[in-house]
Each structure stands twice: as C-alpha cells, then as structure tokens.
Amino acid sequence: MRRSGIKIGRIFGIPIYLHLSWILIFGLITYSLVDEFGARYPQWSGRQLWSLGVLTSLLFFGSVLFHELSHSVVARHYRIPVASITLFFFGGIASITRDPERPGQEFLMAAAGPASSYVLAGAFGLLTLVTPKDSMPNALGSWLAWTNLALATFNLLPGFPLDGGRVFRSIVWGITKNYSKSTRIASRMGQAIAYGMIAYGLWRAFGVHSTFDGLWFMFLGWFLLTAARQSYQQVEAQGALQGLRAADVMTSEMPTVGRELSLDEYSREVSRTGRRAHLVVSDGKLAGFMRVEILQAVPREDWPSTSVQAVMIPREKLPWTAPDEPVLSVLERMRSANVDQLAVIREDNIVGLVTRDSILRVVQARTELGHVTGS
C-alpha cells in the first residue's frame, strides 16, 4: 500500500500519517462527545464540554496509535520492516511490508494490538475509580475505558483481516502448515462475519426499532468484507510471484532522455509517450534517472529554465536491484521506499526496469493461467 495523508512525525523511527478522513471522524467524535457529556453533566459550561470533548478525542486516537504501535514493535522484533502507521476513518493501520515467516510470529504480532487496548482499558478504568464521580477526569476515564475495551474485543473477532482473524489464521497455519490455505480459510471466515454484520446493521437500521447505529454496522461490515477479499487477493498475488526473479518481470525497453533537456521539454515527452520514468544519458552513458513525480515537485514556472540534470536522481543514488533478486523481495523494497520502479543492474550496466506495472502484468497473467502456487 502506498503511504498517504499528512505526516505528523515519527515514533521509534516509524513515520506517522493522518489520512484526510481522520479530520472528519475526529470532528464527529468530538461533537458527539460534547453532546453526550452535556446531557450527562448539565452543570458543566460549554467551554468545559468542548475542552473535554477535544481531549477525549485526542486520547482516543492516541489509543488507536498505541494499538498499532504494539503490532509494529512486535513486527520489528522479528525484523519485519514497518513502512508507516496511518490514522484514518476507521482507526489506524500499520503498513507492515511483509508477512511473518512462522505462525507463532503472526500470533504474537496480531495479539499485541488487542492486548495493548485491554491494558489501556484497565488504566483508564483505574482513573475512573480514583477520581470523583462527576469530575471531568472521571468522565474521560470512563469513556476511554469502555471504548478501548470495545476496540480490543471487536478486533478479536475471528474475521480476517482483523487482529482476531490473523490470530485465527496463525492457528490454522500452524495446523495445516499451509500459509495460502490458512489465508483462504481465514478470509472466508472474515467474509462470513462481514455479511453477518451487514445483516445485523440492516435489521437495526430498518427493523421495528430502527436506530442510526445500524448504518454504522452496515458500513463496518462492508469495509471488513472488502478488506477480507483484498487480503486474500494479495496472498494470491504473492503466490503468483513465488519463485520469480527480477529478470523475469523486468522490461528491457528503457526510454532515455538527454540530461540537457529542460523540464518543459521533458513534460512534453511524457505527454507524448505516456511513459512516467526515463533513464538520463550523456554521451551514451547513464547519468541518472528521471520520473514524473520529480517533475511534479518543481513549480511549473521553473520548468523552462530547469534542466533534467538539475533535478534527476544521480546514478550513484539510483534505486536498483540485481537480476537474480526474488521478485517478492524487490516488491517489499519498492513498498518500503515508496517507489514505482527499480533499475536492474548487471556488472554496472542497466539491463532493464522493474516497475509496479510490470509486476502487475505478470501477476494477472499467471493468475489467469492458474500458476498460483499453494492451495
């Protein structure tokens, strides 16, 4: 997955992002909290209600971040890279760049999130016990304790790719010794739970006692259903790439441009050919690498007076791979570096390019022909 959103910092070296949808849900939660606290504590002023609402919302998303960091810390313990953590509409997601190698690793990685939420539920519950009943800390602690408890319990549902679904997959994986089969079983379980949530949401929303939270259950069910399907498709794609090397998926047709070309001229070349990446050459030798993303980072008014050489990736900094590197490893490095292509270099000569598109074409072809390994 590509990283997206606004970068707000790093924790343990992991970039933290805010998706734009986070702003919407933060506002909705804060507003609902102000309404809830206002009905429960009519003696509080508007300033008190809004201050508590904002603080509680911030601590809620802090709890979600703590949940995702727990996954990430365990993943890094097993030397599994974590590209980023993104807070978004449904909470958060840790972008872990590859799957664990053994069932026990996945079990601990998956269980770490709910365990951390239960710890937070206990801590906020303790705050509730030691503060006066109608005080602001008591109200904050009570809401966050129950919310973290609900978050942990919901995530333990055995519906892949929820944490409980990953725990379930790790158990099936340990029994069957077959990663692909265990993923298929866990994914189907996830889809079944998703359909159940959608049906329950329909009943809640349009039944005799219709309630608004039915729509929320339907939305969550739809999200889980989509995620379960996509997760299994991702495993199928990994199976299709099993055993392939960079040389098997690279494209040998490498478009080139001269380093003296202006960015304005380069933009016209991109528009004419539709190619988004080019090798930059000088006197027949490789000088660097140029791609559309670099062009877009330069103000348009500077394009006529700026050369490709001034902004290109120099040869010595060019991301590359060897022809015999496994494609799954190449894809992992592309995801970690958030790049669309890697040069394939043999004995200091570029022999091709591996791109996301070239990998996707191979996945589609091998899947259609039934060449996915595992069952």
Mean local confidence (pLDDT), 332-359: 79
Angstrom distance (rounded) from CA 82 to CA 91: 17
| Residue 364: C-alpha distances to residues 88, 234, 252, 340, 357 (Å) | 30, 12, 19, 18, 10
CA dihedral 9, 12, 13, 16 (to 10 degrees): -30
Q: Is the peptide bond before 161 cis (omega within 30 degrees of 0)?
A: yes
pLDDT at 366 over 50: yes
29 with 148, same domain: the answer is yes
pLDDT confidence band for 100 (50 / 70 / 90)? confident
- Same-domain check for residues 252 and 237: no
Q: Is 332 a catalytic residue?
A: no
Tell whether 122 is covered by a domain: yes
Position 375 in a domain? no
Indicate if 177 and 272 belong to the same structural domain: no
Sign of torsion over alpha carbons 360, 362, 368, 370:
negative
Number of separate domains in the chain? 3
Residue where one domain finishes, among candidates 102, 136, 156 = 156
Window from 167-181, 188-202, 233-247, 264-278 with minimum mean pLDDT: 233-247
Tokens of 234: 């991702």
Average pLDDT, the chain: 86
**Among candidates 311, 280, 315, which has minimal Cα distance to 298?**
311
* Judgement on whether residues 194 and 278 belong to the same structural domain of the protein: no
**Among 146, 157, 177, 147, residue whose Cα is nearest residue 110:** 157
Record the pTM: 0.71
Residue 48 lies in a domain: yes
Query: Among 68, 253, 269, 325, which one carries the catalytic annotation?
Result: 68
Q: Which of 65, 90, 79, 76 is nearest to 10 (CA)?
A: 65
Co-location of 331 and 212 in the same domain: no
List Cβ neighbours of 145 (8 Å cut-off, separation of 6 or more): 121, 122, 124, 125, 127, 128
- Give how far the C-alpha of residue 22 lies from the chain's centroid of Cα atoms, to the nearest Å: 14
Which stretch of 76-85, 152-161, 193-202, 227-236 has the lowest confidence by average pLDDT? 227-236
For residue 206, what are the domain limits?
161-241
What's the CATH code of the domain at 258?
3.10.580.10
Domain assignment present for residue 374? The answer is no
